[in-house]
């Protein structure tokens, strides 16, 4: 008989549980249903980037349809409002859903600890809508402040308070501090007129990190971003125009509450035993609640560590408890023993604005640049697991190409806002040239007569004397040279002289890579590896021709254009560093770079090929079955 597994909540935990069940159910007759109140999954860990206007909100919203295509998971958009554990049912306002096994994965919500005024007068940062609301409010404060004549009111509008100096609060104030610089410019407001404050009851920020990293981040906030850090400060209430703490009052229109969480409000409707003050649901070692067919995972579940304390409400906890619960449900269905679930945390990364990040991975602190990189890598890894290439490319699009707060020159200039069809003529021309070069070589006998040595200018006297070009004398004159030791640049003129008369002169450029004293790597490599013996030389010779023809066809057809352009770039650089590149061919280097930027998307096969391959891969990844054609295999990205 079909076993119904119902999952409520499509956050990190719910998605992991559904994908694990789908992948591992094999031939078991299991119906998996995932219910969420939204049709998308929110990357909660990046909310501050939307609230601080670093990226567009589309960058943190992933349609559930795109995660679960090619799976047997049924998606339902609904908000569950009540739970009937005696009859194995959950209900929304309109519908009732029954189950054999239930996984609750509804996450958490802010906790106001019954402090008066917080619920009514503060912003939170715990959902997609929260992030957009905070961003729009901040923009509005600057607009109003720009028009305000009353100095006191203006000051109030320009005072922004984040309460809670854990990772959410620090990431939020860091992001805001970077954005404020451009907001000030836009609205003609002095940066010194803006107050950014972060408040916490504890004696230091980032309590989950070691002291050294916390101090580093603290210093960066104060010195670089001009944030006031108020520690050991207890908030007692909030009004619509101020925040009151144990030692005074701050006039402000903006309080962003990041100081505590508790299990999601809807879970209060769940009549299940609680694990702690945060209302997390009590579970046993298998993530099972007091109702043996109901599991609680992620922020809402209270799985305890060896000391009996619930694991931190973080993504790694969500993924590992969800995975464990899904496997345990399969174990029960298969009549096997359930396995104890434990959570291993590998590290934490906290960004403080665009250009600063502290992290501790496996107990080690990483330098700032590596921490920033790690944060990107972790997000990309997660997206790769749930959406494959499509999710990663979308992420890079928002985070790298279209990010809004740009400081470094190079990032100010890159953008995807170029229409691919402008590149079509260039792609076709470049492809045509490569195909022509390759075919000329084929006609010239490159498939059966040794030519490479002469082509590379390394032929022995005997062989060059046999060629008609030996009738010429060649003279090389320096035009321009930069010698830096390891890498040297030359532009030279090659003049061919016949009977004492100059007949052709043309510039060519050459770069020597890795020239140590008398040792010059590239000629050495060519002489000793590529031309080591006739067989090897012939292999490389044929390879060059095949590559030239292949690049030509790829670029003309617009198929795997990025790879074709990359090889084109590689070959031109190879010529540049060996024979030298004649001026008539210099354009090919730059054209290869230009066509890497999606030139096959317009009037090229990539328009169909890339989505198709991604779909085939995704289908394989989610079902562990390889199929070339199936419903939706030709669908383009959303």
Ligand X SMILES: Cc1cc2nc3c(=O)[nH]c(=O)nc-3n(C[C@H](O)[C@H](O)[C@H](O)COP(=O)(O)OP(=O)(O)OC[C@H]3O[C@@H](n4cnc5c(N)ncnc54)[C@H](O)[C@@H]3O)c2cc1C
Rounded to 5 degrees, φ, ψ at 506 are -145, 150
Instruction: Give CA–CA dist 70/632, Å, rounded.
Output: 9
Closest to ligand X by CB, 49 or 606: 49
Contact at 8 Å (CB) between 201 and 233?
Answer: yes
> Measured from the CB of residue 330, what is the shortest distance to ligand X in angstroms?
20
Rounded to 5 degrees, φ, ψ at 74 are -85, 130
Within 298-337, which residues bind ligand X (CB under 6 A)? 298-300, 313-316, 318
Residue 456 CB: number of other CB atoms within 10 A? 20
Instruction: Give CA–CA dist 292/552, Å, rounded.
Output: 63
Task: Verify binding: residue 544, ligand X, rule CB under 6 A.
Answer: no
Residue choice 19, 21, 32, 48 for contact with ligand X (CB under 6 A): 48
- Residue among 227, 259, 252 nearest 159 (CA): 252
Please compute Rg for the chain using Cα positions.
32
- Residue among 21, 3, 57, 38 nearest 402 (CA): 57
Closest to ligand X by CB, 44 or 332: 44
State in Å, rounded, how far the first CA of the chain is from the last one: 36
Closest to ligand X by CB, 36 or 200: 36
Residue choice 20, 22, 32, 36 for contact with ligand X (CB under 6 A): 36
Within 68-107, which residues bind ligand X (CB under 6 A)? 79-80, 105-107
Within 266-285, which residues bind ligand X (CB under 6 A)? 266
Closest to ligand X by CB, 80 or 522: 80
Tally the C-alpha atoms within 13 A of residue 94's C-alpha that lie toward its C-beta: 4
Those residues whose C-beta lies under 8 Å from the C-beta of residue 321, and which sit 6 or more positions away, are: 13, 287, 297, 298, 301, 303, 311, 341, 343
> Measured from the CB of residue 353, what is the shortest distance to ligand X in angstroms?
14
> Measured from the CB of residue 90, what is the shortest distance to ligand X in angstroms?
9
Task: Verify binding: residue 37, ligand X, rule CB under 6 A.
Answer: yes
Beta bridge partners of 478: 492
Site string for ligand X, 110-139 (x = CB under 6 A): ---------------xx-------------
Options 7-15, 390-398, 513-521, 526-534: segment touching ligand X (CB under 6 A)? 7-15
Closest to ligand X by CB, 200 or 299: 299
Closest to ligand X by CB, 67 or 547: 67
Residue choice 8, 225, 303, 325 for contact with ligand X (CB under 6 A): 8
Instruction: Give CA–CA dist 141/154, Å, rounded.
Output: 9
Options 11-19, 388-396, 510-518, 605-613: segment touching ligand X (CB under 6 A)? 11-19
Site string for ligand X, 163-202 (x = CB under 6 A): ----xx----------------------------------
Task: Verify binding: residue 14, ligand X, rule CB under 6 A.
Answer: yes
> Measured from the CB of residue 344, what is the shortest distance to ligand X in angstroms?
13
Closest to ligand X by CB, 298 or 431: 298
Applying CB under 6 A, what is the total number of residues that bind ligand X? 34
Within 334-373, which residues bind ligand X (CB under 6 A)? none
Contact at 8 Å (CB) between 221 and 200?
Answer: no
Options 44-52, 475-483, 496-504, 544-552: segment touching ligand X (CB under 6 A)? 44-52
Closest to ligand X by CB, 37 or 365: 37
> Measured from the CB of residue 152, what is the shortest distance to ligand X in angstroms?
32
Residue choice 34, 47, 343, 458 for contact with ligand X (CB under 6 A): 47
Residue 99 CB: number of other CB atoms within 10 A? 19
Residue choice 33, 38, 56, 237 for contact with ligand X (CB under 6 A): 38
Closest to ligand X by CB, 168 or 592: 168
- Residue among 395, 382, 345, 349 nearest 368 (CA): 349
> Measured from the CB of residue 11, what is the shortest distance to ligand X in angstroms?
2
Closest to ligand X by CB, 102 or 313: 313
Closest to ligand X by CB, 227 or 556: 227
Cα of 579 vs its chain's centroid, Å: 40
Helix ranges (H only) for 69-188 are 118-121, 128-147, 151-157, 167-187
Handedness of CA 315, 317, 319, 322 (dihedral sign): negative
Residue choice 5, 6, 10, 225 for contact with ligand X (CB under 6 A): 10
Residue choice 6, 35, 217, 571 for contact with ligand X (CB under 6 A): 35
| Parallel/antiparallel/unpaired status of strands 488-498 and 473-483 | antiparallel
Burial of residue 79 (number of CB atoms within 10 Å: 0-12, 13-18, 19+) = middle
Closest to ligand X by CB, 154 or 375: 375
Instruction: Give CA–CA dist 274/54, Å, rounded.
Output: 38
Residue 536, classed as helix, strand or coil, is helix
- As a residue count, the chain comes to 638
Residue choice 60, 225, 264, 544 for contact with ligand X (CB under 6 A): 264
Instruction: Give CA–CA dist 503/484, Å, rounded.
Output: 33
> Measured from the CB of residue 37, what is the shortest distance to ligand X in angstroms?
4
Contact at 8 Å (CB) between 156 and 251?
Answer: yes
Instruction: Give CA–CA dist 634/638, Å, rounded.
Output: 12
Closest to ligand X by CB, 10 or 526: 10
Closest to ligand X by CB, 104 or 568: 104
Task: Extract the tokens encoding 506.
Answer: 């043309």
Residue choice 5, 6, 13, 545 for contact with ligand X (CB under 6 A): 13
Closest to ligand X by CB, 104 or 592: 104
> Measured from the CB of residue 508, what is the shortest distance to ligand X in angstroms?
53
Contact at 8 Å (CB) between 474 and 496?
Answer: yes
> Measured from the CB of residue 218, what is the shortest distance to ligand X in angstroms?
18
Closest to ligand X by CB, 122 or 577: 122
What order of strands is seen across the sheet that includes strand 159-163? 123-124, 254-257, 159-163, 195-199, 228-230
Instruction: Give CA–CA dist 550/438, Å, rounded.
Output: 9
Burial of residue 442 (number of CB atoms within 10 Å: 0-12, 13-18, 19+) = middle
Contact at 8 Å (CB) between 401 and 415?
Answer: yes
Q: Indicate the residue whose CB is closest to ligand X.
A: 11
Instruction: Give CA–CA dist 493/479, Å, rounded.
Output: 7
Residue choice 20, 22, 45, 615 for contact with ligand X (CB under 6 A): 45
> Measured from the CB of residue 264, what is the shortest distance to ligand X in angstroms?
5
Binding site for ligand X (CB under 6 A): 8-14, 35-38, 44-45, 47-48, 79-80, 105-107, 125-126, 167-168, 264, 266, 298-300, 313-316, 318
């Amino acid at each position: 008989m079909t076993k119904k597994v119902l999952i409520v909540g499509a956050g990190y935990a719910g998605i992991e549980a559904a994908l694990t069940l789908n992948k591992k159910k094999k031939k078991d007759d299991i119906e998996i249903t995932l219910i969420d109140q939204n049709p998308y999954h929110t990357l909660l860990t990046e909310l501050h980037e939307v609230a601080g206007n670093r990226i567009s909100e589309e960058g943190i919203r992933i349609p559930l349809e795109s995660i679960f295509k090619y799976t047997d998971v049924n998606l339902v958009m609904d908000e569950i409002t009540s739970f009937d554990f005696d009859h194995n049912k959950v209900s929304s306002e309109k519908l009732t859903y029954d189950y054999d096994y239930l996984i609750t994965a509804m996450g958490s919500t802010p906790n106001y600890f019954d402090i008066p005024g917080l619920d009514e007068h503060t912003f939170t940062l715990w959902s997609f809508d929260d992030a957009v609301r905070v961003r729009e409010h901040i923009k509005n404060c600057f607009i109003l402040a720009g028009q305000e004549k009353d100095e006191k009111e203006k000051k109030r509008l320009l005072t922004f308070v984040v309460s809670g100096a854990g990772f959410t609060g620090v990431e939020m104030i860091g992001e805001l501090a970077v954005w404020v610089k451009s907001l000030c410019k836009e609205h003609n407001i002095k940066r010194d007129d803006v107050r950014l404050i972060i408040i916490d009851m504890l004696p230091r920020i980032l309590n989950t990190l070691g002291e050294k990293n916390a101090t580093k981040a603290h210093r960066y906030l104060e010195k670089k971003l001009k944030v006031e850090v108020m520690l050991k400060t207890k908030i007692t209430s909030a009004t619509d125009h101020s925040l009151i703490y144990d030692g005074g009052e701050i006039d402000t229109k903006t309080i962003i509450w990041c100081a505590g969480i508790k299990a999601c409000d809807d879970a209060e409707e769940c009549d299940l035993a609680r694990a702690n003050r945060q209302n997390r649901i009590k579970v046993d070692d298998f993530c099972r609640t007091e109702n043996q067919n109901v599991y609680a995972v992620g922020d809402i579940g209270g799985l305890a560590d060896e000391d009996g304390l619930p694991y931190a409400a973080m993504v790694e906890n969500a993924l590992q408890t969800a995975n464990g619960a899904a496997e345990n449900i399969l174990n029960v269905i298969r009549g096997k023993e359930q396995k104890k679930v434990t959570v291993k945390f590998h590290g934490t990364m906290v960004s403080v604005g665009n250009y600063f990040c502290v992290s501790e991975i496996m107990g080690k602190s990483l330098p700032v640049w590596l921490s920033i990189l790690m944060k990107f890598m972790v997000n990309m890894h997660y997206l790769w697991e749930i959406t494959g290439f499509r999710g990663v490319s979308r992420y890079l699009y928002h985070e790298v190409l279209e990010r809004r707060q740009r400081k470094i020159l190079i990032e100010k200039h890159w953008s995807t806002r170029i229409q691919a069809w402008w590149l079509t003529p260039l792609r076709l021309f470049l492809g045509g040239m490569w195909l022509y070069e390759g075919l000329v070589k084929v006609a010239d006998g490159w498939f059966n007569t040794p030519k490479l040595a002469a082509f590379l200018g390394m032929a022995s006297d005997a062989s060059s004397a046999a060629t008609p070009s030996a009738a010429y004398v060649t003279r090389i004159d320096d035009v321009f040279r930069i010698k830096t030791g390891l890498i040297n640049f030359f532009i030279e003129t090659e003049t061919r002289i016949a009977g004492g008369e100059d007949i052709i002169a043309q510039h060519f450029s050459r770069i020597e890579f890795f020239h140590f004293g008398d040792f010059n790597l590239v000629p050495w490599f060519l002489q000793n590896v590529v031309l080591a013996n006739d067989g090897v030389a012939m292999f490389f010779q044929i390879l060059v021709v095949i590559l030239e023809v292949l690049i030509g066809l790829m670029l003309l057809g617009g198929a795997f254009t990025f790879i074709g352009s990359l090889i084109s770039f590689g070959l031109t650089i190879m010529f540049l560093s060996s024979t030298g590149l004649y001026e008539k061919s210099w354009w090919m280097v730059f054209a290869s770079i230009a066509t890497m930027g999606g030139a096959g998307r317009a009037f090229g096969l990539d328009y169909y090929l890339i989505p198709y391959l991604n779909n085939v891969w995704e289908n394989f990844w989610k079902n562990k079955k390889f199929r070339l054609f199936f419903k939706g295999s030709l669908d383009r990205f959303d």
